[in-house]
Amino acid sequence: MSDVDLTDEQYEKHREAGRILAEVREGAAERVEVGASHLEVAEWAEERIRELGGEPAFPVNISVDHEAAHATPSIDDETTFGEEMVNLDIGVHIDGWLADTAITIDHSGNAELKEASEQALKAALETIEPGIHTGTIGAEIEDVIDGYGFNPVVNLTGHGLGHWEQHVPPNIPNRAIDSGVKLEVGDVVAIEPFATDGSGKVNEGATEEIFALDHERSVRNRRARKALEQITDQFKTLPFATRWLDVDRAEMALRRLQRADVIHGYPVLQEEEGTLVSQKEHTIIVTENGCEVTTRIR
């Protein structure tokens, strides 16, 4: 699949991002306790990334129960964890070279659903070798999750990681497909099985706290212009949270930028109310003999 040859230094930045991320993931997961604050966990993880020499590649995603992706705390969020299934999805970049990982913490008493996504990822990683077809990886994920009696989330996928780009080809499906591509030595991809006791398809919710730049263009409003300057300088094309902006009335500035087609939002993706979703994700580099997992604790 690779059409860009990275340098040793660039691969090492992917690896360093993964090393930081593995440590932060474990520390953040330990902080997900009943009664703990969503905002405090997210801000701890994002600050710890910076302390270790990286930058967040996107806002920490904290998805609860039927939520699957793109949920992050708002400004002054007071939400606390309950007896729920919680997915943490965290990213790190070093000079735009990324790593992406996710883990489920279960306080809901549904250990098998958590195990289904974990074992699906383990099985997928064991299939990785040069020339492996992405549809074959998806079939392995689907087979494991189906064996637990659950459904894979079919309209969410793993993905390649580019420079300053969180999602690039190839997509790594969570089910068997005939289309797709073959992975090659040097490909950097995130594999992320989602398992659910719901239908296996997520939809967009009403909440939107994460955004990313689409097009740089002039805007007349002073507050929106200040927000855009911070976005282009600090985040570039990577996703950011409303709470990251250093402007008054950030929500209003973002609405203006959306109306001008400067940025787009990421609505929370969710299954049916009353269902649960688990997730497990690692970033890998495809090697001659299999793969190197950059986001695994060394």
d(CA 71, CA 262): 21
What's the CA gap between 274 and 196, in Å, rounded?
11
Catalytic residue among 55, 65, 197, 281: 281
Burial class (CB in 10 A: 0-12, 13-18, 19+), 264: middle
How far is it, in rounded angstroms, from Cα 145 to Cα 175?
Answer: 10
| Assigned token pair, 208 | 């939107």
The residues, ordered by sequence, that sit 6+ positions from 240 with a Cβ below 8 Å of its Cβ are 58, 59, 210, 211, 212, 231, 234
Any catalytic annotation for residue 167? Answer: yes
Query: Which of 133, 163, 167, 264 is labelled catalytic?
Result: 167
Q: Is 40 a catalytic residue?
A: no
> Is 281 among the annotated ligand-binding positions?
yes
Task: Give me the half-sphere count of Cα atoms (radius 13 Å) on the Cβ side of residue 197.
Answer: 13
From the candidates 55, 89, 142, 271, give the one annotated as an active-site residue: 89
Q: Which of 14, 38, 93, 159 is an active site residue?
A: 159
Please tell me whether 8 is known to bind a ligand. no
Counted residue by residue, the chain has a size of 298
282 catalytically annotated: no
Contact 273, 68 (CB under 8 A): no
- Per the residue annotation, which of 46, 100, 115, 118 is the catalytic one? 100
Triad 175, 63, 196: Cα angle to 5°? 35
Phi–psi pair at 60, nearest 5 degrees: -55, 125
Q: What angle do CA 55, 60, 63 make, to 5 degrees?
A: 165
Annotation-wise, does 215 bind a ligand? no
100 assigned ligand-binding residue:
yes
140 is catalytic: no
Residue 89 is labelled as binding a ligand: yes
Amino acid at 216: E
- Tokens for 75? 């400004």
Say whether 281 is catalytic.
Answer: yes
Catalytic (active site) residue 146: no
Q: What is the dihedral of CA 145, 115, 126, 7, to 10 degrees?
A: 110
Determine contact, residues 254/227, Cβ cutoff 8 Å.
yes
Q: Per the residue annotation, which of 65, 192, 197, 208 is the catalytic one?
A: 192
β-partners of residue 94 are: 97
Which residues are annotated binding-site positions for substrate? 70, 167
Active site residues: 89, 100, 159, 167, 192, 281
Which residues are annotated binding-site positions? 70, 89, 100, 159, 167, 192, 281
Which residues are annotated binding-site positions for a divalent metal cation? 89, 100, 159, 192, 281
